[in-house]
Structure 1
Amino acid sequence: MASIPKYYEGKNVLITGGTGFMGKVLLEKLLRSCPKVKAVYALVRQKAGQAPKARIEEMVICKLFDRLREEQPDFKEKIIAVNSDLTQLELDLSKEDQEKLADCIQIVFHCAATVRFNESLKDAVQLNVLATQKLLALAHRMKHLEIFLHVSTAYANCNRKLIEELVYPPPVDHKKLIDALEWMDDKLINEITPKLIGERPNTYTYTKALAEHVVLQESGNLNVVIVRPSIVGASWKEPFPGWIDNFNGPSGIFIAAGKGILRTMRASNNAVADLVPVDVVVNHTLAAAWYSGVHRYTRPRNVLVYNCTTGGVNPFHWGEVEYHVISTFKRNPLEQAFRRPNVNLTSNHLIYQYWIAVSHKAPAFLYDLYLKITGRTPRMMKTITRLHKALMLLEYFTSHSWVWSTDNTTMLMSQLSPEDKKLFNFDARQLHWAEYMENYCMGTKKYVLNEEMSGLPAARKHLNNLRNIRYAFNTILVVMVWRVFIARSQMARNIWYFVVSLCYKFLSYFRASSTMRY
């Protein structure tokens, strides 16, 4: 078989979602590791008055493309921005662009989707289901199309404990749902949404399941692949360790923990945190398209599904995530932290509510009070409110574990040559979690918050000052409790002296035992 770079040589590729997190990494990796690819067409909508071409030019300036820029200075010439809006009729493509894409595209990567968990059902269907349907209609017109790859999510069928590499029956007929949403008003849609999504936690997973079935039903004779990543995080190795550019998913939670704002979280310590590095997903995606492309004439025309997850081959638990995040940010603190990093994970609702009140709301209220007194605008309670909303959306995924079959992924890995295994590595068994988590946390510091490493000494000094303030506060609190309650009550003093004497006797016994041993 041809190698992966050889397969993409001379090909015209279409990418949706190219300005998103995963889309950017896919674009960079494709151009860098398959340097003879002919062109990459990116469907981009106009945003905030900025034309698609200007958005692409602004995007490729970022650090993600530095390595590619060094190796291929003229790489931008291969990126062709196409004005499009996936929510509009015929993707808002001009007739000229439609004909051009129909004549030249050989590979389609459909990465675009709304990843907002709290998106309204109507908008989620529009972006995740209808857009997929429209893109498939365009794909059917492509005269030289070899492969259509749809990026889904491993949580599309999260109502099941065991998730196999197949497309499951949809929760509802997508055509009937689309027809119903056209005449329903927003209030009615919001009322029926919980009943429609059933055991699924949000509209995102629900509509991604519907989109998979649309791909299955409407692909016809197209050569189709579905890749299902789990929780996509910072890069593992490529183009460099720890690259991340947004607050989405776990990244915002890690930053809140590092800043000392997040102190408690509803999660199970033993639940598997199925994080998967973005470069693992991208390498898996490029390899999956290659395999189906080179076997398009010999392989049966069934939809190949790949679960791109880590839990089954290299499990990592939320308790371990918490440990590595906190230890990393204690060694390499974020600037201007609110408190020293420390997070308590609990699956108990009452304990969680207690810690929310004591560790989140009370300090936020006191800090806002201090800001008001000093003539500044209070902001911490608003921050805490936004944080709680984000935690509620993630709670389902931090409290459950799933089992994903990965037979197709194992098969795909076995088909790669030794050179391709190195160049397009998606073997999660090689992932060293402690190293990855440190790079991830440092990535949020450098690339999301834009904090320089030269600021670490000052950040460490600030963290030590916070520790001293905490010790002073606790000392004052103990003295106040003593003065108010214990010093005024004979019974309280007797209990206090009894406890102190017991502690003294225990320490004396421990010291005597140690002396006898030596």
Structure 2
Amino acid sequence: ISSVEEPSPGWIENFNGPVGIFVACGKGIMRTIHTKPDIICDFIPVDICAKNIIAGAWIRGTKPIEPTDDIEIYNCCSGNLNNMLMGDLVEMSKHVSKEVPLDGMLWHTGGTITTNPVYHYIKVLVQHLLPAFLVDTLLWLIGKKPMLVKVQRRIYIANLALSYYLTQQWTFDNTNFVQLRSVLKQADMKQFYYDLETTDLVEYFTKCCLGGRRFLLKEKDEDIPKARAHCKRMMILDQAMQVLFHAVFLWWVCKKIVQLFGIQSNLF
């Protein structure tokens, strides 16, 4: 996933991993994800992975090899060094998306975890596809190219492909990965030493979101104040729509109760 330091903090070139969740939630187009909140996320920054590969190659190239030696395997993963639950990751994505909002939000930042696949599918239809069809229809009417249904289709296919892995707990032994950094020479410590334990995850994922803006979406940092103002407007609109929806639903329930019991009222 996004880098910690090199080539620059938050550097990334694809939407894989949590950055994709941050971007989708930040744009307001992802409202549900099929996973479990208590699953431990095991992500590794790309620059730490690169350092591990180089250090492993150095050990392999300089160590005398005997026919009886075992092949060293380095699971480049965070393991229990500094991990996070999937539920915490989704909640953090909402927080970070408010601090570093994206340009052109379609709706307020959001997204919830859905553990039931059937309920998730229903939410995809109601919260993803239905709004996408409405937006694309409006775009078509004003002469612009529809695109949101296509985006939602890609999100759904990606979540469908990853659902098995996102609903299972995976545990990898990173003992060799941790021990490898202890054999680095003092002269190489500055360039190749990697430390996950002391990484501030909130600060790191904030930089990830900034990196997503810069390197994936090509959005300018100077536009962040405008994006924050737009984010606040979308939050107010979202809250207003929720109040309106619940008010209409309550009115409908009351009307049905009145009709059921034959109560006379001028309100209905």
Using the size of structure 1 for normalisation, the TM-score is 0.47
- Which deviations, in whole Å up to 9, do the C-alpha atoms of 1:200-234 show, x marking residues without a partner? xxxxxxxxxxxxxxxxxxxxxxxxxxxxxxxxx01
Return closer, same or farther for 1:266/1:489 CA change in 2, 3 Å cut-off.
closer
Are 2:27 and 2:107, in contact at CA under 8 Å, matched by a contact in 1?
Answer: yes
SS in 1 for 2:41: coil
Q: Decide whether aligned partners of structure 1 residues 471 and 292 sit closer, same or farther in structure 2, where only a CA change above 3 A counts.
A: closer
- Give the Cα separation in 1 of the matches to 2:155 and 2:55: 37
CA distance in 2, matches of 1:453, 1:492: 58
Q: Percent identity?
A: 29
What secondary structure sits across from 1:248 in the alignment?
coil
* Maintained 8 Å contact 2:34/2:114: yes
The 8 Å contact of residues 258 and 333 in structure 1, kept in 2 or not, is answered as yes
CA 1:490–1:311: 2 relative to 1, 3 Å = same
Matches within 5 A, 1:388-467: 388-467=156-235
Structure 1, residues 161-188: CA drift from partner, whole Å, max 9, x if none?
xxxxxxxxxxxxxxxxxxxxxxxxxxxx
Q: Which has the higher contact order (CA 8 A, sep 6+)?
A: 2
Distance in 2 between residues matched to 1:352 and 1:320, nearest whole Å:
19
* TM value normalised by structure 2: 0.87
Query: In structure 2, what is the Cα distance between the partners aligned to 1:494 and 1:423?
Result: 79
Task: Tell me how far 1:414 sits from its aligned partner.
Answer: 2.3
Q: Which position in structure 2 is the counterpart of 1:314? A: 82
Offset at 1:264? 0.4
Larger radius of gyration: 1
Asked if the contact 1:269/1:320 (under 8 Å) is kept, the reply is: yes
Q: Cα deviations across residues 27-58 of structure 1 (Å, max 9, x unaligned)? A: xxxxxxxxxxxxxxxxxxxxxxxxxxxxxxxx
Residue 485 of structure 1 deviates from its aligned partner by: 5.4
How far apart are residue 389 of structure 1 and its match?
A: 0.6
Per the alignment, residue 122 of structure 2 pairs with 354
Deviations 1:334-374 (A, max 9, x none): 00011111110122123212321221122112222322333
Aligned-partner Cα distance in 2 for 1:404–1:484: 53
Superposition CA RMSD, Å: 2.6
Q: What SS is found at the alignment partner of 2:75?
A: strand
Identify if the C-alpha distance between structure 1 residues 392 and 492 changes in structure 2 by more than 3 Å, giving closer, same or farther.
same
Structure (1/2) with the larger strand percentage: 1
Q: 5 Å matches for 1:75-90?
A: none
Q: 1:330 aligns with which of 98, 104, 107?
A: 98
What CA deviation, in whole Å up to 9, does each residue of 1:264-289 have, x standing for no partner?
A: 00111111111100111111111111
Residues 22 and 97 in structure 2, CA contact (< 8 A), matched pair in contact too: no
Q: Measured at CA, do residues 265 and 478 of structure 1 come closer, stay the same or move farther in structure 2, by a change above 3 Å?
A: closer
Corresponding residue of 1:341: 109
Is the aligned partner of 1:280 residue 2:48?
Answer: yes
Question: Is the 1:486–1:493 contact (alpha carbons within 8 Å) kept by the matching residues of 2?
Answer: no
Please report how far the alpha carbon of residue 461 of structure 1 lies from its aligned counterpart in structure 2 after TM superposition: 1.9
CA deviation digits over 1:97-150, x for unaligned, max 9? xxxxxxxxxxxxxxxxxxxxxxxxxxxxxxxxxxxxxxxxxxxxxxxxxxxxxx
Contact kept? 1:330, 1:340, Cα under 8 Å: no
AA aligned to 1:393 is A
Quote the residue 2:134 is aligned against.
366
Distance 1:454 1:381, change over 3 A: same
SS, match of residue 345 in structure 1: strand
Q: How far did residue 301 of structure 1 move?
A: 4.8
Residue 463 to residue 493, structure 1, CA distance change in 2 (3 Å): farther
| Structure 2: unaligned runs, 5 residues or longer | 264-268
Residue in structure 2 matched with residue 44 of structure 1 by the alignment: none
Alignment pair present for 1:305 and 2:73:
yes
For 1:268, what is the secondary structure of its paired residue?
A: coil
Distance in structure 2 (CA, Å) of the matches to 1:335 and 1:375: 22
